[in-house]
Structure formats: C-alpha cells, structure tokens
Amino acid sequence: MADIVTLKAICDELKLDPREARERLRAAASDPKANPELVKSRKPRTPWQWVKGSSAEKEAKKVLREPKK
C-alpha cells in the first residue's frame, strides 16, 4: 500500500494552522486550470490526504507555501 501524507503532517512540517490550510486548499481546488492535480485528488467530505510523492501532494504544498493573499 502507498504511503499517505495527511494535511496535519504537512501543517506540522510547514508550521501552518490546519484551519487556514484547509481554507487555502478549498480556494485552490476551485480553480481547475491553476491546480489540476489538486482538483482531481479532492473528494468532498473526506480528509485532505495524498499519496506520498504524488503530483497532487506537491501541488498542495506549493499552494500552502505561497504567501497568503
């Protein structure tokens, strides 16, 4: 089975508030042209989690590293 990376683990790594991180991911997931992998990996009403090393995980980290607008 593939290793899973959770939003909590990413928040711990990047020292982010999980609530703010979820808000930013939801906003990013609403733009399929800018974040196609994030949109494909998102399943409503499920935890934010990705396969370790996947392009969706990399896209999520990129979104979370960007300065808040």
Residue type, 48: W
- Residue 41 and residue 54: Cα distance in Å, rounded? 10
Residue 40 neighbours by CB distance under 10 Å: 13
Radius of gyration over alpha carbons of the chain, in Å? 11
Please report where in the chains the tokens 């703010």 appear, as a residue.
Answer: 20
Q: Which domain holds residue 21?
A: 4-65
- Residue 69 and residue 54: Cα distance in Å, rounded? 26
Provide the whole-model pTM: 0.89
pLDDT of amino acid 2: 77
Condensed to tens digits (0 to 9), the pLDDT of residues 9-68 reads 999 999 999 999 999 999 999 999 999 999 999 999 999 999 999 999 999 999 999 887
| Tally of domains within the chain | 1
